[in-house]
Structure 1
Amino acid sequence: MEIRYLGWSAFKIIHEQTVVIIDPFDPDKVGLPWEKQSADIVCVTHNHFDHNYVEGVEGFGKLINSPGEYEAEGVNVFGILSFHDEKQGRERGFNTMYRLEMGGFCVAHLGDLGTKLTQDQVEDLGSVDVLIIPVGGKYTINYETAAEVVAQIEPALVIPCHYQVPGVKIEGIDPLEKFLEEMGETGELARKKLKLTSRSQLPDETEVVVLVKS
């Protein structure tokens, strides 16, 4: 299984010939470039411009944009209801977290999570190998709450997203460095992709993986 970062909160997950794209973004509104992608499955965590740019993806036969249980192309997808804010969705609406089972690994993408998880949500997410989590604050959990959510889930690997980088037009978002400092990481080992072929590659204790846009 291979995970590539497309920028902002967008990721491409590949296993053999199956491609999943999560949260494609509108490049004109976000301020980052977007290259047309091809996929079999597209998952959208919520219907905001920086997460629902499905016209930027071609060839997909399955679009998932709500809670529930799904299966397509040998991938099991579980959508779990959450909130985009700390007011049970009254401010920014609902958010769907996704648990994907593919290639013998479990990947969880939390979308624009706006609050800590409930015990039920932690149980629904289950055992997570790779956690993709927003860390920039303002419209999502901030770096401190993100670290608390990591402790709730206890994944093997954590990939941060939704943070400020040069070019992003969305203001008031914290940079990645604040989360790395909170987690006691340096981010010096940034890489273009995460490739997992064996569960023996997973660390015993949680590690942060910084992916650069590719």
Structure 2
Amino acid sequence: MKIKWFGHSCFMITSEKGTKILMDPYVNMLGYKLPELEADIVTTSHDHRDHNNIDAVKGNFAHINGLGVFSECGIDIKGVDTFHDKFSGTKKGRNTIYNFKVDDINVCHCGDLGHILDTKQVEEIGNVDVLLIPVGGGYTIDSIGAVEVVKQLKPTVIIPMHYRTKALGPMGLAFAKVDKFIDDSGLKSQNYAELELNNENIENYMGIAVLEYK
């Protein structure tokens, strides 16, 4: 599979067979700008404009925005109920974590997770090989919270998202930089334009993979 980051919490996974899965497309109001994209599957973690802009996506795609188990285009997907804040959703609402099985690799996208997981949520999410996790704080868990969730889910590869970048401009001041998460985690990190993973090479990317926004 290939994993590409389009900024904020938006990623595209392309399977070995060419199936395209787009996660949390945003309205172009953040400093980031989505290119023209087509997808077979689009998932949205919650109903905020910086995560649910399915109108930006072309193609006859399946839109998944709920809880439970789904199967689309040969991809198994599980949606797990979580919250956007530390107060059971009373401040910012609910959030769905999705765990995708693509090419025999489990990729977990945390959306705007706002809290440490409980035991039931960890069990529901299940095995995680690649974790896409917010680390910037402000509107989600911060770097310390993200480190705790990493310990809970035990992924091989951690891809940070939802943190301060130059593209965000003044809006970025609401978030911490990715360096804070890297320092707090104590894990090795490497920058990549995109990742190309399979069961044979995934161990080579162990640790934090910082994807570049272009």
TM-score by length of 1: 0.94
The one-letter amino acid of 2:25's match is P
The one-letter amino acid of 2:191's match is A
Distance 1:44 1:170 in 2: 22
Does the CA-based 8 Å contact 1:192-1:212 persist in structure 2? Answer: yes
Match for residue 178 of structure 1 among 172, 180, 186: 180
Does the CA-based 8 Å contact 1:77-1:98 persist in structure 2? Answer: yes
Match in the other structure for 2:195: 194
Deviation, structure 1 residue 167: 3.0
Distance 2:55 2:172 in 1: 21
Does the CA-based 8 Å contact 2:83-2:114 persist in structure 1? Answer: yes
Q: CA RMSD in A?
A: 1.6
Deviation, structure 1 residue 53: 1.1
Aligned length: 211
Distance 1:100 1:22 in 2: 11
1:18 aligns with 2:19: yes
The one-letter amino acid of 1:24's match is P
Distance 1:210 1:12 in 2: 15
What do residues 29-69 of structure 1 show as CA deviations (whole Å, max 9, x unaligned)?
A: 21212112100000000011110111111104200011111
Three-state SS of the structure 1 residue aligned to 2:3 is strand
The one-letter amino acid of 2:21's match is V
Three-state SS of the structure 1 residue aligned to 2:195 is strand
Does the CA-based 8 Å contact 2:20-2:41 persist in structure 1? Answer: yes
1:152 aligns with 2:152: yes
The one-letter amino acid of 2:122's match is V
Gaps of 5+ in 2: none
Match in the other structure for 1:92: 92
Distance 2:206 2:146 in 1: 13
Gaps of 5+ in 1: none
Distance 1:204 1:3 in 2: 15
Match in the other structure for 1:61: 61
Does the CA-based 8 Å contact 1:157-1:209 persist in structure 2? Answer: yes
Q: Which runs of 4+ in 1 moved over 6 A?
A: none
Match in the other structure for 1:80: 80
Match in the other structure for 2:124: 124
Deviation, structure 1 residue 22: 0.1
What do residues 71-122 of structure 1 show as CA deviations (whole Å, max 9, x unaligned)?
A: 1100011000000000100000000000001111110000000000010111
What do residues 184-211 of structure 1 show as CA deviations (whole Å, max 9, x unaligned)?
A: 2464x311111113x2323399511111
Three-state SS of the structure 2 residue aligned to 1:200 is coil
Match in the other structure for 1:135: 135
1:204 to 1:14, Cα distance in 2 relative to 1, 3 A:
closer
